Each structure stands twice: as structure tokens, then as C-alpha cells.
Structure 1
Amino acid sequence: MNLHQFRFVQEAARRNLNLTETAKALYTSQPGVSKAILELEEELGVDIFVRHGKRLKRITEPGQQVLQAIEVIMREVGNLRRIGEEFSKQDAGTLSIATTHTQARYVLPQPVVALRKSFPKVAVSLHQGTPEQVAQMVLDETADVGLATESLADFDGLVTLPCYEWQHVVVLPADHPLAASERLALESLAREPLISYHPSFTGRTRIDQAFEAKGLKPNIVLEAIDSDVIKTYVKLGMGVGIVAEMAVRDDPAFAPGGELVARPAAQLFGHNVARLAFKRGAYLRSFVYTFAELISDRLSRALLERVMAGDAEHYDL
């Protein structure tokens, strides 16, 4: 048996048993993938997959156990590679970060710039997606670390740590009638056309839950994943926006006399917690620890080492 066979089996499971997609993902041929999997099954003496003709239909019970063992093996192979890079390249390499648009646009710039000053030989690769995609990229080792608000703590294969709390704010044209109020009510917002995030992004779940708890149905006229898009449509008079508070910081549109105003909404929608995620059991290079410390003063290398060693499933505030 060999690593190529393990990789083919692992990727086939990830690609919903589609061998054509598996071959494309691994830059090889479909017959080659099929042959390698069959050879591994023959060596192990068990069927990993149930087949119908040449198609894989499902994973067998022993196949589930084989997949779990392969996950451990491939994770440790990745760790060996990272250990080698750590000590041979002297703090050089690439830090891959999976995150959402809001985090990439408003939270990461300063920590990334600071990291590059401390580790000038380290390149940074940003991968943006939904919180679920962020989690999967970390699990697949496409990314070293994930940063998002939703979903990360729901994945068993991840260790997550809270970075910071944030709240939503209501964004209004400066001449809007509600702009005169410092504290807004849900009932007032429910009467307005609202512009906010797509349901899977940036704490939107809390917004929906708050309206539902009061028996109100919000009039969502536009959903987006980009805070800047939401603010643009508010400027055009399409409706009232609900965005993350970091999206209005340092925006000249919200300066005194600007065209927009922001009102805090923690009393309406509560607080959200952004979390960092790492693959369970992964070896973290020195610059990954430094990046975590730059993201939040609540995090330290000593804390991360304890959590990654299994002292806690998920560290909480």
C-alpha cells in the first residue's frame, strides 16, 4: 500500500464517490484511480466501496474504518511536511487563510501586514467562501487556519477558539426619519425595506431569530455577502442596511456630516463571536501561532498549544 492509494480513496469519499471528479482533482486518469483503489482493497482483504458496475455506490462498514485510518495517516503526512518546512526554510513558506468576505475586508488587513513585517519570507494566501466552505478548506488542508463567525464550532474535525465579539449596526441615510433615534426598535425596522447579508453570512441567523422571537416578518429586499454592496444600496435609497460594525469603521460616509449614519443594534440582535479554526491534530508552524496572536490578544501560543493537544474541544470566552 502507498500514499497514492490513500489519497485516491480519501478524495473519492470527498467527491461523493465520483471517480471522474476524483481524477480531475488529482490530475490523473479515472482508470488509474479505479485500479489503485482495487489494489488497496485486495491488499487489505476488504471492500472499501460497494460498486454497481464500474460506479461506486456507497462506503462499506469496513471502508468507514479504513477512511478514518487514512485521514489520520494523511494528516500526519501533512504534519511531517510542515515540520520539515519549519526547520529547513527558517520561518519561510505560505500561510493559507480561509475566511469570509467581511473578515478578509475589515479584520485581516492589519494582522496580515503585521505578520509580513515579522516574517518577511512568508507569503499569505487568502481563500474566501461561506463559513461552511471555510471549515471544509481547513479540514481539507487547503488552508492552515479559518476565520468566520458561523458554523466553525459545528465541525468535529476542527478545534476552534474565539477571537473577538462584535455587533450589528443599522445603516441609514443621514436624512432618514429613523436617523434621529439613537436606539432603534425591531418594530420600526420591520416596517422598513431591509438590506442585509445572505442567510449563511455574518451573523444573519441572529437577525432572523430576533424578528421571529417577536413575531415579526422583516421585509428583506436585498441580500448580499459584501458589506460594501449593502452600504451602496443604502446610499441609493433602496432601504435600511444591517451590517457588521467593523464595516462602518473608518468609512468617511459615516463621519459627521456624511451621507450615512450607523446605529448600534446589540440590544436587538445580541453579540456575535468570530472564531479561529484549526484542523484537529495539525502541526502549527511558528508564524501560524504569531498570526493567531495578532488576530486577538485573547490568544497566545501557550493557549493554542494546550487546546491543540486536546485540553478542550473548543475554547470559549
Structure 2
Amino acid sequence: MKLQQLRYVAEIAKQGNHLSAAAEALNTSQPGVSRQIQVLEGELGVDIFRRTRNRIIGLTEPGEHVLAIAKRVTADVATLRSLKMDLEALDQGQMVIATTHTQARYVLPNIVVNFIKRYPKVELILKQGDPETICAMVEDGEADFSVGPETQRSFPELLRLQGNEISRIVVGPKGHSIFSEPELTYENLAAHPLIAYDARYSGRWKVMEAFQRAGCTPRFALSAIDADVSKTYALLDLGLAILTNAAYNPAQDIGLEARDASHLFAPSTTTITLRPTSYIRPYVLEFISSLSEKLTLKAVRSALKSAIARD
């Protein structure tokens, strides 16, 4: 068994089971990739991929386990290769954060500014995506950690740390009738078209769960993954936007008004995910500890140690 073969398995799955795309990403030939996969399957005595007419269409049940191992091994090898450099240069290098738009735009800027002042030799890279995509980036070794809301899909290979809670608000154009209501209720909200986050975000499914419990059926005029897009259309009076309170700044959001909705909708919890088996550089730990008062260096190190012990 070769490390290269495990890389091939991981890349084929990443490329949606397209051999040609995997071969191109790996800078090798498609027949070479196919041959090495067959050799690995022969050595293991199981089929890793399901095929039809010589086309890969998915993973077999044993293949799911092989892929999980392949991802872990290739990520750990990449970590080992960078370990020597990291140990020699504790205050420089690269830190890749996978995060959502709301976090990158509204929550992280001041934290990033302070971090760069402290570590000017560290190149910080922000990769954006929906909550599940950013966790997958960490799982695949494409990011050091992720910062975002909860996900419905579990990521058993990752360590999850809970940060601050972010409550919800209703945002609309100034003078909208919703802001003169004596009390904000599910019923008076459902009487207006709404703008909410895409279904991949907790900001959507938590809102839907709340309406369902109240026996109300809201009408959504627009779904978006971007708070700025939501506010743009709210300003055009297309609907009332249900957003996190971090996404609204009265000094910048001219023409808009906001109202607290924390009594109607459950908050989102900022979640940080890491690969517990990888080497976490000291400045990465320091950045994570700056995300919440309860994420002290001691607490983060203890959580990592516990996660490694469980593995």
C-alpha cells in the first residue's frame, strides 16, 4: 500500500468521482490513477468504488471507511511535512481560516486586525463557504480551522468548540409597519414577506422550527447566504430580513431599521472546528482563544488533549 494510492482515493471523492478531474488535479494520467486504485483494491480485497460501464459512480460501504482513513492519513502527512518549518518559525507562516460571510464581514475584522499586529509575519487566508463546506475544508486539510454556525451534518473526525451565541433581529426599511407594532410576534411577522438565510444555515432552519412550533406558515420572498445581499433587498422593501444581530450596524446601514427578535428565535452558536490529530501552531491557538472569553488557551488545549485521548 502506498501513500500515493490513498491520495488518489481522496482526490477522486473530492472531484465528485470524476477520474479525469482527479488525474488533472494530481498532475498525472487518468489510466495511472485507475491502475493504482485497482492495485489498492486488490491488496485490500474489497472494491472501494462502485462502477457502472467502467465509470465510477460512488463509494462502496468499505470504500467509505477507506476514504475516511485516506483523508486522515494524507492530512497528517501534510502536517508532518510542515511541522519542522513551524517549529523553527513560531511567529511566522500561514494560517487558513474557513468561515462564513457573516463571520468574515462582521465578527472577525477587529480580531484579525489585532492578530496581524501581533504576528505581522503570518499570512492569513480567509476561505468562505456555507457552514458544512467550511467544516469539510478543515476535514480535508484545506484549512487550519473553521468559524461558523452549527451544522446539521455531523463531522465526527473534527473537534467542535463552542464560542459566543449570536441572537437574531428583524431588519427592514425605516418606517416599516413592523417597527410600530407594540409587540413583535410570529403572527405579525408572518403577515409580511420575509428574507432569510439559505437552508444550509442554522439561521434558516431555526427560524422555520420556531414558526412551525407557533403554528404559523411564513412566506419567504428570498433566500440568501449573504447578509449584505439580504439587507440590499430589504432596503428595496422586498421583505423583512431575519439576520444575526452582528450583521446590522445603524451607522452604516442607512435607510434600514432593526428590531430585536431574540424572544422568537433561538440564537446561533459560533462553532470552531479543528482536526484534533494535527499539529496546531501556537499562534493558531491564540487566534482561536481570542474568539470568545470562554475559549481560553487552557480550555482549548484541554479539549484537544481530550479529543486525542478518545481517538
Same fold, TM-score > 0.5, yes or no: yes
Task: Give me the whole-angstrom Cα distance separating, in 1, the residues matched to 2:62 and 2:195.
Answer: 50
Q: CA deviation at 1:203?
A: 1.4
After superposition, where does 1:24-103 map in structure 2 within 5 Å? 24-42=24-42, 44=43, 46-49=45-48, 54-56=54-56, 59=59, 63=63, 66-103=66-103
Q: CA deviation at 1:200?
A: 1.6
Task: Give me the whole-angstrom Cα distance separating, in 1, the residues matched to 2:251 and 2:28.
Answer: 48
Q: Are 1:300 and 2:296 counterparts?
A: yes
Further displaced range: 147-156 or 264-273: 147-156
Residue equivalent to 1:243: 243
The question of whether the paired residues in 2 share the 8 Å contact of 1:193 and 1:219 is answered with yes
Task: Give me the whole-angstrom Cα distance separating, in 2, the residues matched to 1:313 and 1:76.
Answer: 17
Task: Give me the whole-angstrom Cα distance separating, in 2, the residues matched to 1:133 and 1:155.
Answer: 11
Give the counterpart letter for 1:229 in structure 2: V
Task: Give me the whole-angstrom Cα distance separating, in 2, the residues matched to 1:57 and 1:235.
Answer: 45
Q: How big is the alpha-carbon RMSD for the aligned residues of Structure 1 and Structure 2?
A: 2.5
After superposition, where does 1:54-203 map in structure 2 within 5 Å? 54-56=54-56, 59=59, 63=63, 66-151=66-151, 154-181=154-181, 183-201=183-201, 203=203
Task: Give me the whole-angstrom Cα distance separating, in 2, the residues matched to 1:234 and 1:84.
Answer: 51
Q: TM-score, normalising length from structure 1?
A: 0.88
> Which of structure 1's runs of 4+ aligned residues deviate more than 6 A?
none
The question of whether the paired residues in 2 share the 8 Å contact of 1:111 and 1:295 is answered with yes
SS at match of 2:110: helix
Gaps of 5+ in 1: none
Task: Give me the whole-angstrom Cα distance separating, in 2, the residues matched to 1:283 and 1:272.
Answer: 29
Task: Give me the whole-angstrom Cα distance separating, in 1, the residues matched to 2:222 and 2:236.
Answer: 13
Q: CA deviation at 1:35?
A: 2.5
Give the counterpart letter for 2:232 in structure 1: T
Further displaced range: 52-61 or 138-147: 52-61
Percent identity, aligned pairs only, is 36
The change in CA–CA distance for 1:52 and 1:205 in structure 2 (over 3 A counts) is: closer
Give the counterpart letter for 2:81 in structure 1: R
SS at match of 2:280: coil
Q: CA deviation at 1:66?
A: 4.3
Q: CA deviation at 1:72?
A: 3.8
Task: Give me the whole-angstrom Cα distance separating, in 1, the residues matched to 2:60 and 2:258.
Answer: 55
> How many residue pairs are counted as aligned between the two chains?
309
Give the counterpart letter for 2:75 in structure 1: R
Among residues 287, 292, 299, which one is paired with 1:291 in the alignment?
287
Further displaced range: 187-196 or 52-61: 52-61
The question of whether the paired residues in 1 share the 8 Å contact of 2:195 and 2:234 is answered with yes
Deviations 1:242-281 (A, max 9, x none): 111001135433xxxx632211101000222110011231
The question of whether the paired residues in 2 share the 8 Å contact of 1:173 and 1:179 is answered with no
Further displaced range: 86-95 or 282-291: 86-95
Q: CA deviation at 1:73?
A: 2.6
Task: Give me the whole-angstrom Cα distance separating, in 1, the residues matched to 2:182 and 2:255.
Answer: 17
Gaps of 5+ in 2: none
Task: Give me the whole-angstrom Cα distance separating, in 2, the residues matched to 1:244 and 1:182.
Answer: 22
Q: TM-score, normalising length from structure 2?
A: 0.89
SS at match of 1:27: coil
The change in CA–CA distance for 1:55 and 1:270 in structure 2 (over 3 A counts) is: closer
Residue equivalent to 2:206: 206
Q: CA deviation at 1:227?
A: 1.2
Residue equivalent to 2:10: 10
